[in-house]
Amino acid sequence: MYQLNRGAIFVKRKQAFVDWVNKTTVADNGEELSLEAANSEPGVYMIPPFEGEKEFKDLLPQALDCIWEAELSGWNHETSLWPKDQSSKMFYQWFSLVVSGVVYDLLEDPLEKEEV
């Protein structure tokens, strides 16, 4: 086991986000997305390591911008349908976060990166 030089943010989607998905996207099966289904695989985002609340608060604005884009594009690529208000206040109406300052790698294989 290895400790990585990263922290992580786990993103749980709220009902406001699910409502947006259902309003702007038609599922292949024609059914609406449920909150439970939206959170069956929470978003996980690795962030720089940080020590203490101040360091975390300093890196959070840039992280939220990236998470907004990833979460929205993961469900709808049509940027014209994305909410105009992507403020941090709106973010917390759509998502909740769980933050970890420590990430462990349980595998021996080297990490691989792929640009998205």
Residue ranges per structural domain of the chain:
2-104
Q: How many CB atoms lie within 10 A of CB 17?
A: 23
The confidence score (pLDDT) of residue 44 equals 97
Q: Tell me what percent of the residues of the chain surpass a pLDDT of 70.
A: 97
115 pLDDT higher than 80: yes
> DSSP letter string over 67-108?
HHHHHHHHH---GGGS-S---HHHHHHHEEEEEES-EEE--S
Task: Take residue 13 and report the two structure tokens written for it.
Answer: 């989607």
The confidence score (pLDDT) of residue 27 equals 67
Q: How far apart are CA 39 and CA 36, in angstroms?
A: 5
Is this model's pTM higher than 0.75 or not? yes
71 close to 17: Cβ distance less than 8 angstroms: yes
**pLDDT digit string, tens, across residues 67-100:** 999 999 999 899 999 999 999 999 999 999 999 9
Q: How far apart are CA 82 and CA 86, in angstroms?
A: 9
Q: Tell me what percent of the residues of the chain surpass a pLDDT of 90.
A: 80
Q: How far apart are CA 88 and CA 61, in angstroms?
A: 8
